[in-house]
Amino acid sequence: MSRVLTTCIYCGVGCNLYLKVRDGRVVGVLPSRGGPGEGKLCIKGWSAHEFVHSPKRLTKPLMRDSQGFKDVSWGEAIELVARRFSAIKEQYGPSSLAVLSSAKCTNEENYVLQKFARVVLGTNNIDHCARLCHASTVVGLGATFGAGAMTNSIQDIEDAGVIFVIGSNTTEQHPLIGRRILRAIRERGARLIVADPRSIDLAEFAEIHLQHKPGTDVALINGMMSVILSQDLHDMEFIQRRTRNFEAMKKVAERYPPEYVEGITGVPAEKISEAARLYAKAGRASIIYSMGITQHTTGTDNVVSLANLAMMTGNVGKKGSGVNPLRGHNNVQGACDVGALPDVFPGYQRVTDRQAREKMQKAWKVAELDDKPGLTQPEMLNSAYNGDLKALYIVGENPMLSHPDINHVRQSLRNLEFLVVQDVFLSETAKLADVVLPAASFAEKDGTFTSTERRVQRIRKAIEPVGDSKEDWRITAEIAERMGYKGLAYGSAKEIMDELASITPIYGGISWDRLNDGGLQWPCWDPSHPGTQFLYEKDFSGGRANFVPVDFQSPAEEPDEDYPIILTTGRLLFHFHTGTMTRKSPTLDAQLAEGYVEINPEDAESLRIGEGEKVRVKSRRGEIEIKAVITPIIPRGTIFIPFHFAESPANALTNPALDPKSKIAEVKVCAVRIERLGPRNA
């Protein structure tokens, strides 16, 4: 048996593990003592190998005919895809095509995909699932600090005097970071504030639990800042030396005394004051957040508010502090870094910037690049629904479960003239495709992932691709070559990284050779640079950070007489995202094989719903039938549904209303009603 060191395929923590290989098959995993996991793995990490040899793996290209799907050769599949893409581009223009890249793909593969969109298809219509999780982080932290990334490192969490977790069920979604938080409390005396509508496990360890109504985060944070200002707890020296626009933000925050905020959030005024004092007096305070903050029509405002809170107390640019978004996918940070976004090239160089375009044109040996930002993911689907987008190339994404308002998604995809899906399994989205291309898993390729703490790490090929599957970048390169462009014909993934580093300043010093002994955190400017443990020690990206005043706005859809209950959604410990991989894992599926809805006991009594009964949950967009779990974890008037399960898809209900700044959808708040169907076994 051999062991191959790699990086976990699931969440953004970036735990290192060994794949155990015997006779050309991955038969198990072992944790590595290196990396942020420190020799530990969560249950998903321990099971990361199980889907690799699933009998449900895609092993041959599929093409749709009148009878359904049929197996075809790679030559037939590539020829059809290239011919149809070329014909649609010729007939309707480049903007009629789009690419959905993937946070499951490597940096090298995402780089190739965005280059394919821009050079071969001729469009900036390239996006990926960051649009569904942390687009508001990219915009919000970009507007305040200058870069949309985690300011500090995972290890820094243990140096904090106070940890403020808001909108993150950390012990379930990022268990090895949750472990760090608990260790900071138990061994180093850190104090914990948790803000979450649910009584999550982490709240049991909190000194203060702020159980606010979903969608009221801006009011809550403004309330905390109002207390800090009124009690003169802000860091005026830091504010004057390192920030701008403080007075404008101060005027807004002062309009949110805790007594007023209590009426909006439902959190007692004294608790808000207590949390504000605890955070402001910490010396070193770390803010940790995730999609409970970002997935709102005010997601960017939520992120900006947290940045304002950190700046006004001087909690940026030092260890044990900062504003720290926890990325959901293993490589969502990297996919953003390497340009799988409609408005930026690799390294966040804007497509509207003439010098950036000229730089890329020279590097990619192309005469001209589009200077207009492309479509975001939601805009792509709306454009397909309206008949303007004609072709879509989806790699490793499953919008038929991950996007809000699934009925709209289904109709949008059906309206396309040509849909290509490239994936490891026949996902719910792939079932709608004209051509399905089988991709290699993480165990079958080389490359890099960038974790939530900006750490670039290697993944290493352990086995040959299963069946006739291929690495994603090789498939894309073959399509490009058949369309007449040979600039993606790389010899290896290492060669792609070398090109990426040459045009991406924040990755300028990163190479595979330097990653052999561990990861490097960007910015890493040159081959002698050690990487950056925490950002903004001396300067912000624009010299000074910006305070941005933010007023509270209600969610796009609130409860009413017809739909009197708030639905919020999230992830669970045993499954990941749309379940494409975890539900093919016997260990994980055995832990939890079906979805459920959490209902408060008082709500359940008034609706005459018993434990385990099946109920119908309806919104203005759709309905599902699902098992009821009666629990005080959820407050009255609110329900919670995990979104992993195709049989009871939470996103059939959720609201596609968008944050106007980041174009992220409000999947964390919508109005629903519940109907009792009778005993579950009736």
Same domain, 106 and 186: no
**Is the residue at 76 inside a domain?**
yes
The pair of structure tokens assigned to 176 is 């090895």
Same domain, 7 and 118: no
Cis previous bond, 523, omega within 30: yes
Short-list 667, 85, 119, CA closest to 402: 667
H or E element in which residue 391 lies: strand 391-395
**Is the residue at 630 inside a domain?**
yes
Short-list 48, 645, 567, 139, CA closest to 398: 645
**Is the residue at 169 inside a domain?**
yes
Same domain, 257 and 290: yes
* 3-state SS class at 524: coil
Domain that holds residue 209: 135-325
Radius of gyration of the chain (CA): 24
Parallel/antiparallel/unpaired status of strands 97-100 and 455-459:
unpaired
**Is the residue at 527 inside a domain?**
no
DSSP summary character for residue 213: P
Short-list 433, 413, 414, CA closest to 423: 433
User: Any idea of the CA torsion for 312, 319, 280, 552, to the nearest 10 degrees?
Assistant: 50
Short-list 660, 560, 629, CA closest to 198: 629
**Is the residue at 524 inside a domain?**
no
Give the count of domains, the chain.
4
Helix ranges (H only) for 365-438 are 377-385, 399-402, 406-415
CATH number reported for the structural domain that contains residue 611 in this entry: 2.40.40.20
Same domain, 288 and 352: no
| Whole-number Cα distances in Å, 221 to 90, 218, 301, 455 | 51, 5, 11, 29
**Is the residue at 558 inside a domain?**
no
Same domain, 232 and 288: yes
Short-list 382, 501, 481, CA closest to 127: 382
**Is the residue at 521 inside a domain?**
no
Q: Which pLDDT belongs to residue 679?
A: 59
Same domain, 258 and 140: yes
Sequence-separated (6 or more) residues with CB below 8 Å from residue 66: none
Same domain, 158 and 239: yes
Cβ count near 158 (within 10 Å):
18
DSSP summary character for residue 326: -
Q: What is the mean pLDDT of each run of 10 residues along the chain (682 residues)?
A: 95 95 96 90 94 96 94 97 98 98 96 98 94 88 92 95 97 94 96 97 97 97 98 97 96 98 98 98 96 93 98 96 92 95 96 97 96 96 96 95 91 97 96 98 97 96 97 98 96 96 97 91 96 93 92 95 96 82 88 92 95 96 95 96 88 92 93 84 46
Q: Are 35 and 43 in contact (CB under 8 A)?
A: no
* CA 534 to the chain's CA centroid: 21
Same domain, 382 and 255: no
Sequence-separated (6 or more) residues with CB below 8 Å from residue 588: 43, 44, 47, 50, 574, 575, 582
CATH number reported for the structural domain that contains residue 24 in this entry: 2.20.25.90
Q: Which pLDDT belongs to residue 32?
A: 94
* 3-state SS class at 447: strand
* CA 354 to the chain's CA centroid: 30
Same domain, 315 and 352: no
Q: Are 347 and 500 in contact (CB under 8 A)?
A: no
| Whole-number Cα distances in Å, 637 to 282, 328, 455, 553, 650 | 34, 27, 41, 20, 17
**Is the residue at 639 inside a domain?**
yes
Please give the angle made by the CA atoms of 549, 550 and 553, to the nearest 5 degrees. Answer: 160
Same domain, 76 and 224: no
Parallel/antiparallel/unpaired status of strands 670-676 and 614-618:
antiparallel
Parallel/antiparallel/unpaired status of strands 25-31 and 16-22:
antiparallel
The pair of structure tokens assigned to 529 is 């640079």
CATH number reported for the structural domain that contains residue 474 in this entry: 3.40.50.740
Same domain, 243 and 281: yes
Same domain, 256 and 125: no
* Residue where a domain terminates, one of 291, 325, 359: 325
The pair of structure tokens assigned to 190 is 């850190």
Q: Which pLDDT belongs to residue 520?
A: 96
Q: Are 178 and 171 in contact (CB under 8 A)?
A: yes
